[in-house]
Amino acid sequence: MSDFVVVVPSRYASIRLPGKPLREINGKPMLEHVFERGTESNASEVVIATDDERIAEAAEGFGARVCMTGNQHRSGTERIAEVCDLLDWGDDKIVVNLQGDEPTMPAALINQCAASLDDSTADIATLASPIASQQDFENPNVVKVIVDDNSNAIYFSRTAIPYPRDSERQSEARCAALHHHGIYAYRCGVLRRLVAAEPSRLEVCEQLEQLRALSLGMTIRVAVPSNRPGAGVDTEQDLAVAAAELAQ
């Protein structure tokens, strides 16, 4: 496996869960759990990227390296791209974007995502699991991805794709889609190219930034993890679910 680093983009503001990174789960801020998942992986370094002094102080308190970024970023991808520049990382360096609300992401899956870039034909790597239920297939909060025969993403959508033309093909459609997980691995050069481009029409429509990469003709390799990661945290209920998972 190629050497890689983990960057955790973290912002304080959250509409549904204010102060989300510092909300406690089993006696620790959520961000600390995410940091621990990163340090359990094979990453050579884990960096917390933030523009908020409260997050920086908390992260330094549990021993994390912090990179302070600007407050203008619209996405974690943009924040990580600034980290690449601030820390003078070369274009070939592999960075895993471990989102700050994924406290139950197994370290093995972080490694799997990074290892998918050992194939030089892939620009970006990510993970996706089989759709668990018809409800998930129809849920716009569950992002779906369909892939080609080489495990490269064809399209990501919040809607149910592919569309079953005949009702008896409903199960076939669900089996053809995968539930996308919000973890990515990129080379720094790809990140720089991504953030330099304007949002694509598809990205604006679906509000999915990975569609910018597809619009630019980038190859996104999709790996299926051996075990499904826990859900991310967006609500008070999600905090309780994460607490139960981490207690096991």
> Which CATH number does the domain housing residue 44 bear?
3.90.550.10
pLDDT (0 to 100) of residue 237 = 85
Using CA atoms, how far apart are residues 117 and 125, in angstroms rounded to an integer?
Answer: 6
Phi-psi region of 63 (alpha: psi -120 to 50; beta: other; left: phi over 0): left
Domain count of the fold of the chain:
1
Using CA atoms, how far apart are residues 141 and 157, in angstroms rounded to an integer?
Answer: 10
Using CA atoms, how far apart are residues 31 and 19, in angstroms rounded to an integer?
Answer: 11
Tens of each residue's pLDDT in the chain, 248 residues:
689 999 999 988 776 788 889 989 999 999 999 999 999 999 999 999 999 999 999 999 999 999 999 888 888 899 999 999 999 999 999 999 999 889 999 999 999 999 999 999 999 999 999 998 889 999 998 999 999 999 999 999 999 999 887 766 667 777 889 999 999 999 999 999 999 999 999 999 999 999 999 999 999 999 999 888 887 888 888 888 888 888 87
Q: What are phi and psi of 137, to 5 degrees?
A: -60, -35
pLDDT (0 to 100) of residue 164 = 80
How is the chain split among helix, strand and coil, in percent rounded to 5?
40, 25, 40
Of 44, 125, 122, which is closest to residue 87 (Cα–Cα)?
44
Return the H-helix or E-strand segment holding 9.
strand 4-10
pLDDT (0 to 100) of residue 168 = 65
Residues 11-35 as b/e (b if ≥16 CB within 10 A, e otherwise) read beebeebeebbbbebeeebbbbbbb
Domain that holds residue 116: 4-247
> Does residue 31 contact residue 58 with C-beta atoms inside 8 Å?
yes
Q: What letter represents residue 159's amino acid?
A: T
